Structure 1
């Protein structure tokens, strides 16, 4: 007799794996927590306004303000003016922020590629995760009613 898994169990296992994967990423850097990594990477990807970073990361104003303040105090971000908009603040990485982001991403890439190498098709897994990122961007864009944040697949 063959035992069939309950409907949706693959999705449940995928959710659990993603939750565990986020913890693996979080532990890959002693210098930068995952929330601050997300903020730095969003800014490095071209989202220079705090409001845009908050939208991309689905964060509220207090959360993004707190992260920006902490990263600025650490010398990883600088605030600047946005031409034509006195209310907006432009964010950019400092050289120290760029270096820390590069180190952190190298550590994370090492962890993710190491895990992917243990799967039946690591390259396909990595490609699928990129697709997942694009799908997340599409959903966030639809919710915000704005232009896409990344290029379509």
Structure 2
């Protein structure tokens, strides 16, 4: 059974096999976690993403899917890019958010990753409520049956950390 841990900090500093990037569909960098990973990981990540766009993902990576690249200069071996849904109060997209976690774990298993660090996907600029995002993240990872040994949720601030820890205790 996967061990779930929580830490407050910078996902780009995590010494894990794979870091999950809350990417935009272009795969070419952006703000938030995506921008931080591209900045700190260096041009190798962008080059790998451009190669993906030129081959399999010409129209961008679909929401809920995941794909891996090198981690460049990050302490991880790989970056797993996934595109979370944008929060919409009138449309339940919980299945797409859960798919981000499931698909990222599937890719991690294919790579042979034992440790994976996740951000709080879609809870930043995409507007997903943190408490619901935490619940979906933890429940999805717990129910995944993954061969990954440790999933580490890396939360940027104390508030997000507290919400994820409470979600982990409650399920």
TM surpasses 0.5: no
More strand by share: 2
More helix by share: 1
Q: Give the TM-score of the pair, scaled to structure 1.
A: 0.30
- Computing the radius of gyration over CA atoms, which structure comes out larger, 1 or 2? 1
Q: Give the TM-score of the pair, scaled to structure 2.
A: 0.28
